[in-house]
Amino acid sequence: MQNRLIIDGAAVPAASGQTFPTLNPATGETLTEVARAGAEDVERAVAAARAAMDKGPWASMDGAARGQLLWKLGERMLAETQALAELETRDSGKTIRDTSGGDVPGAARCFQYFAGWADKIQGDVNPVSGPFLNYTRREPVGVVGAVIPWNFPILMAAWKLGPALAAGNTVVLKPAEQTPLTAIRLGELALEVGFPPGVVNVLPGFGEEAGAALVRHPGVNKIAFTGSTEVGKLIQREAAATLKRVTLELGGKSPNIVFADADLEQAVRGALTGIFYNQGQVCTAGSRLLLERSVHDAFLAKLLDGASKMQPGDPLSPKSRMGPLVSQQQLERVLGYVAKGKAEGARLEVGGERVGDKGYFVPPTVFTGVRNDMTIAREEIFGPVLSVIPFDDVAEATRIANDTIYGLAAAVWTRDIGKAHAVAHAIQAGTVWVNTYMNSQNASPFGGYKQSGVGRELGSSFIEHYTELKSVWVRMG
Ligand code: ADP
């Protein structure tokens, strides 16, 4: 039977026998039932992950062999791109264009990037005094609990599994309850390409149930979490009880700053992608568009023209550039913010209403006349809702950009190279784009300042977060 938990190399039902439905957000209908992991399943999965860590083939496998497995997993995913992309699209509402061209090959390439790292994780020899040799080793942290969201399901699974496995850890992965299907398939593929039992365990289930049990479990050494800032704070508090290592990739309210001297055509495209890509369900979404006042009206006209051409449609159609939001709850949340924006005096220029009565479709929505202290400029909406805020000079733009609890990403559009770098340095964010938006590659570190997170993913920074550093002293005289 499909859609089971993956524990210790086998697909098994939940100990409780319970299942939960996962829906197709384009229709609101149930796609399939999925085994619902609970605390007992977390117990079993952590025990399996611990056993695989301590003994058996994984424990003695060298980095090169781990790298080969990771590479093979990437290859296997690429061979199955279309099937994985369709599964992802049905479960999440992401367009097939994005899942087949972005998420699935991106996830495969993430595994292959980390395959290359697996035999290049090394220590140092340190210049200590006396008749001693002192060297450091980078050892795996141990059992990693990975808790991931629904906006990039297979990609986030790869962002956690790739580095964790490259560094020699074992993993218990809990996908989001809205989008469990590709994670389960990924767990099956990992077994097929030869990862030993217990190395990759997958527990579909709910956050407060399986997720919370994983975060509390004393046998889990590290939690790698991507999700809301609210749950991130909860996880950090819970993890403190056992001093688990924690990396958190959380929310954002990213400023997208357009100066009058920018290439405005390019900046309009960047602004549209920045907020409407993936229906705005992106932690780095450029949800605050800061426009220099002298180009405000001209820019807005182009922006609204572009937005009106980006209507959401059937995510399985290759023509669709936008799909539905992921759930009824998300639909209500987004429409709630639209109502709040209107009530607080922002001007709704376009969008703001559900499209149709089947599925959770919301069109591009743009508010102007937004002040940075309005709710729609302060809180993460996670939907296709843009707040346009005018500014007069560099100092004001920077002040508004940094006036947020978040610090995940930002963009600056200008032809003035000095201004571009000065603003990039002044902004408190983990990623700053200049004359571009949304770029992400495996070689570049990703993470947040302030309440957008703790730690960095991707690039070489994973070594710090997925290994313990051991110092070994040897007397030589
Ligand atoms: P969103 O609000 O976007 O759904 P969440 O932060 O609620 O994001 O969810 C991200 C992930 O965190 C999901 O896998 C979810 O099941 C999980 N999660 C939610 N609440 C908890 C919790 N209390 N403990 C552990 N994981 C949780």
The model scores a pTM over 0.85: yes
Give the position of tokens 């639209």: 338
Question: Is the domain of 230 the same as that of 266?
Answer: no
Question: Is the domain of 327 the same as that of 405?
Answer: yes
Q: Compute the distance from residue 390 Cα to the ligand 1 centre, in Å.
A: 34
Q: Which helix (H) or strand (E) holds 434?
A: strand 431-434
Angstrom distance (rounded) from CA 160 to CA 458: 9
Angstrom distance (rounded) from CA 318 to CA 324: 14
What are the catalytic residues?
249, 283
CATH number at residue 348: 3.40.309.10
Q: What percent of the chain clears pLDDT 90, i.e. is strictly above it?
A: 99
Residue 464 counted as domain residue: yes
CATH number at residue 91: 3.40.605.10
Question: Is the domain of 359 the same as that of 265?
Answer: yes
Residue 446 counted as domain residue: no
Q: What residues are in contact with ligand 1 under a 6 Å CB criterion?
A: 147-149, 174, 176-177, 206-208, 211-212, 215, 227-228, 231, 234-235
Q: Is the pLDDT of residue 2 over 90?
A: no
Question: Is the domain of 183 the same as that of 132?
Answer: yes
Q: pLDDT tens digits, residue range 254-313?
A: 999 999 999 999 999 999 999 999 999 999 999 999 999 999 999 999 999 999 999 999
For residue 300, give both structure tokens: 């807005």
Question: Is the domain of 262 the same as that of 179?
Answer: no
Question: Is the domain of 293 the same as that of 348?
Answer: yes
Q: Compute the distance from residue 184 Cα to the ligand 1 centre, in Å.
A: 18
Taking Cα atoms as reference points, which of 195, 157, 155 lies closest to residue 67? 195
Are the C-beta atoms of residues 454 and 236 closer than 8 Å to each other?
A: yes
Angstrom distance (rounded) from CA 105 to CA 187: 17
Angstrom distance (rounded) from CA 279 to CA 91: 15
- Please tell me the predicted confidence (pLDDT) of residue 205: 98
Question: Is the domain of 466 the same as that of 318?
Answer: no
Residue 82 counted as domain residue: yes
Q: Compute the distance from residue 133 Cα to the ligand 1 centre, in Å.
A: 46
Pocket test for ligand 1, best of 156, 202, 231 (most atoms within 8 A of CB): 231
Residue 155 belongs to domain spanning: 5-250+451-475
Residue 371 counted as domain residue: yes
- How many structural domains does the chain have? 2
Question: Is the domain of 426 the same as that of 461?
Answer: no
Q: Compute the distance from residue 408 Cα to the ligand 1 centre, in Å.
A: 19
Question: Is the domain of 222 the same as that of 132?
Answer: yes
Residue 245 counted as domain residue: yes
Q: β-pairing, 453-454 with 245-249?
A: antiparallel
Angstrom distance (rounded) from CA 79 to CA 96: 16
Question: Is the domain of 244 the same as that of 265?
Answer: no
Residue 370 counted as domain residue: yes
Judging by beta carbons within 10 Å of its beta carbon (0-12, 13-18, 19+), is residue 215 exposed, middle or buried? Answer: buried
For residue 420, give both structure tokens: 């571009």
Taking Cα atoms as reference points, which of 434, 362, 433, 351 lies closest to residue 388? 351
**Protein residue whose Cα sits closest to atom 20 of ligand 1:** 207
Q: pLDDT tens digits, residue range 358-377?
A: 999 999 999 999 999 999 99
Residue 445 counted as domain residue: no
Q: Is the pLDDT of residue 1 over 70?
A: no
Question: Is the domain of 20 the same as that of 92?
Answer: yes
Angstrom distance (rounded) from CA 60 to CA 441: 31
Pocket test for ligand 1, best of 92, 147, 328, 379 (most atoms within 8 A of CB): 147
Q: pLDDT tens digits, residue range 392-424?
A: 999 999 999 999 999 999 999 999 999 999 999
Question: Is the domain of 280 the same as that of 387?
Answer: yes
Q: Would you place residue 154 in the very low, low, confident or very high pLDDT band (cuts 50, 70, 90)?
A: very high
Residue 408 counted as domain residue: yes
